[in-house]
Amino acid sequence: MDRRRFLRNFLSGATALAVGPTLLHGEWVQAGDASRFATGLREHPWLAGWKSVNTESFGPTTVELQGRLPDGFAGTLYRNGPAWTERAGFRYEHWFDGDGMVHGWHFDEGSVTHRSRMVATPKFVREQKAGRFLYPAAGTSIPDVRAVRNNDDVNTANTSVTTINGRLFALHEGGSAFELDPDQLTTLGPVTWRDDLVAVPFSAHPLKDRDGSLWNFGSIGLMGGAGLMVWHVGANGMLITANVLETPIHGYLHSFAMTEKHLIFVLAPFRYAEGEGAFFERLHFSTDQACRIAVVPKDSAEQTRWFEADFAAVYHFGDAFEKNGEIVVRAVHHTDAQAAKSPLKAAMKGDGSAVNSPTRLFDLRLNLRSGQARWVDTGIGDLEFPLFDPRTRGDRAARLYAPVSEGSSTPYFNAVGAFDVERGRRQVHRYGDAIMAEEHVFVPRPGSRRAGDGWLVGTLLDAERGRSGIAVLDAQRVSDGPLAQAWLPYAFPLGFHGHFAVG
């Protein structure tokens, strides 16, 4: 069909080379002030969550676990996040801009070994050599930028990680996946899934299907075009399909949702301000316009249906399921849409009055019979990064697990919660006033098929004591606190997303 065509030579023709790469535009407006951040950090230790690293690696460091790992829990938690945010006195002003550092936390019987390493993207390697930032960033205007050839010249590989057939990948929404050695975390290089798809965006939130294959998308709008690339990669790491889904609007999306039969893409409409500046500096969400929602059958993209619902600024989705002719998708709304463009921007500047972006959990209900769509407030707020057990049946809601705020003395999360939304039940473990809690990944109990039977593993930052840590909890007894916990003798900044590799 005209609306959906198979992408064969997207980057080989003159049309692709002529488009203006939206993400890559940006001229210097005002330098970020690293000294201002340093002053704020002295007054507010919790700002260590946004401090730049000045070393390319940590570890390997082995520390003893407090408590005891449950039987069957074994493997490595990989995590990724922006870590290098300052050079030559210049500091990024947007949290999404920092170059990525991947961490590996490998569990043994009574200990955990941590190591981390910067992802050696072309951008990072060249800027290390030059001693200054050279290339445009997503949210900060950079002085005297160099010309770029494609998305991977500005790819920071800083958002998430995944494994496919034993291979480890660092992910970013604006370019290629970068493959890493799963043990040493050294960078092997960018991945091209097919020769004619060089540097086409492979986003940071792939979803694993029940057959072990992965679905993902890439926003071609980040290359100056329109539409979404829909990727399907086999469990063996080989590309199955790469299709373009043409979209009716310019819409922002960071992740997507999936049921057993469908992929769901929620596009938040936006416009660009006139003048110069980085992508997020120029982006303004069109809150007076509806979100456009694509429901794409996995086995027949030609049957894609489009829905409309009130505007919502969403970065992350929880689970999605289908029941009685309706698809239900759980999503975290950032209720201040314009502030959501740069979460914790004040913290990036060293401002001790920083506050987190306010959020609420909503259900998106898509009626497949009537074609109607609506958002329903669940009544749950102050959370982000929701995850769930993917073994949950496709016709029922999953229990969600997410970091939450429970009387924190910092602007970030200090607890982890488990939410049974339909029954109105929740369990919370609070780590402490000043301990910042990151995303907690669900790990299924080996040999069990019962949804929710497993553990949560999540990372922590105790800025006052200058240490980063990790905790393992029983997913069915979150309020009981960690079964095992460990702290490193050093600290590093907060990251975004992780993946647990069993074994």
CA-to-CA distance for 421 and 237, rounded, in angstroms?
A: 35
Position 161 scores a pLDDT of 98
Position 226 scores a pLDDT of 74
- Sign of CA pseudo-dihedral 419, 424, 425, 429: positive
pLDDT tens across 427-467, in order?
Answer: 999 999 999 999 999 999 999 999 999 999 999 999 999 99
Position 172 scores a pLDDT of 97
Position 225 scores a pLDDT of 65
275 in the Ramachandran plot: left (φ > 0), alpha (ψ -120 to 50) or beta? left
Distances (CA, A) of 185 to 4, 182, 245, 333: 38, 6, 34, 34
CB atoms within 10 A of CB 17: 10
CA-to-CA distance for 108 and 126, rounded, in angstroms?
A: 37
Name 147's Cβ contacts closer than 8 Å, sequence gap at least 6: none
Contact status, residue 173 vs residue 222, Cβ threshold 8 Å: yes
- Domain contains 194: yes
Closest CA to 434 of 462, 403, 458, 404: 462
CB atoms within 10 A of CB 424: 10
- Domain contains 235: yes
Domain with 487 in it: 4-9+21-48+55-502
pLDDT tens across 153-196, in order?
Answer: 999 999 999 999 999 999 999 999 999 999 999 999 999 999 99
- Domain contains 16: no
- Domain contains 304: yes
pLDDT tens across 345-373, in order?
Answer: 999 999 999 999 999 999 999 999 999 99
pLDDT tens across 81-135, in order?
Answer: 999 999 999 999 999 999 999 999 999 989 999 999 999 999 999 999 999 999 9
Identify the band that residue 2 occupies on the pLDDT scale cut at 50, 70 and 90.
Answer: very low
CA-to-CA distance for 248 and 308, rounded, in angstroms?
A: 11
Position 155 scores a pLDDT of 97
Beta strands in 133-227 (DSSP E): 160-164, 167-171, 178-180, 187-190, 207-208, 214-219
With tokens 């399909």, the residue in question is 241
The phi, psi pair for 24, rounded to 5°, reads -90, -5
On the CB side of 87, how many CA atoms lie within 13 Å of its CA?
A: 18
- Domain contains 108: yes
Contact status, residue 213 vs residue 234, Cβ threshold 8 Å: yes
Position 6 scores a pLDDT of 34
Position 410 scores a pLDDT of 97
Position 16 scores a pLDDT of 35
- Domain contains 126: yes
Q: What is the CATH number of the domain that holds 241?
A: 2.130.10.10
Position 15 scores a pLDDT of 30
CA-to-CA distance for 125 and 119, rounded, in angstroms?
A: 9
On the CB side of 325, how many CA atoms lie within 13 Å of its CA?
A: 6
What mean pLDDT is predicted for residues 382-394?
97
Position 301 scores a pLDDT of 87
CA-to-CA distance for 341 and 335, rounded, in angstroms?
A: 11
Estimate to the nearest angstrom the gap between the alpha carbon of 475 and the chain centroid: 22
DSSP SS3 for 159: coil
Residues 331-361, buried b or exposed e (16+ Cβ, 10 A)? Answer: bbbbeebebbbbbbbbbbbbbeebebbebbb
Closest CA to 367 of 298, 301, 305, 302: 305
- Domain contains 14: no
Contact status, residue 29 vs residue 276, Cβ threshold 8 Å: yes
Report DSSP letters for 102-134, one per residue: EEEEEE-SSEEEEEEEE---HHHHHHHHHTS--
pLDDT tens across 204-245, in order?
Answer: 999 999 999 999 999 987 656 679 999 999 999 999 999 999
Burial of 132 (0-12, 13-18, 19+ CB in 10 A): middle
pLDDT tens across 17-62, in order?
Answer: 323 344 443 333 345 889 999 999 999 999 999 999 999 999 999 9
Position 105 scores a pLDDT of 98
pLDDT tens across 237-295, in order?
Answer: 999 999 999 999 989 999 999 999 999 999 999 998 888 889 999 999 999 999 999 99
- Domain contains 15: no
Which tokens sit at 448?
Answer: 């069990």
pLDDT tens across 465-500, in order?
Answer: 999 999 999 999 999 999 999 999 999 999 999 999
The phi, psi pair for 165, rounded to 5°, reads 55, 40
Name 186's Cβ contacts closer than 8 Å, sequence gap at least 6: 117, 120, 180
* H, E, C per residue of 387-440: EECCCCCCCCCCCEEEEECCCCCCCCCCEEEEEECCCCEEEEEECCCCEEEEEE
Position 4 scores a pLDDT of 36
Name 131's Cβ contacts closer than 8 Å, sequence gap at least 6: 87, 88
- Looking at this protein, which amino acid is placed at residue 143? P
What is the number of structural domains in the chain?
A: 1
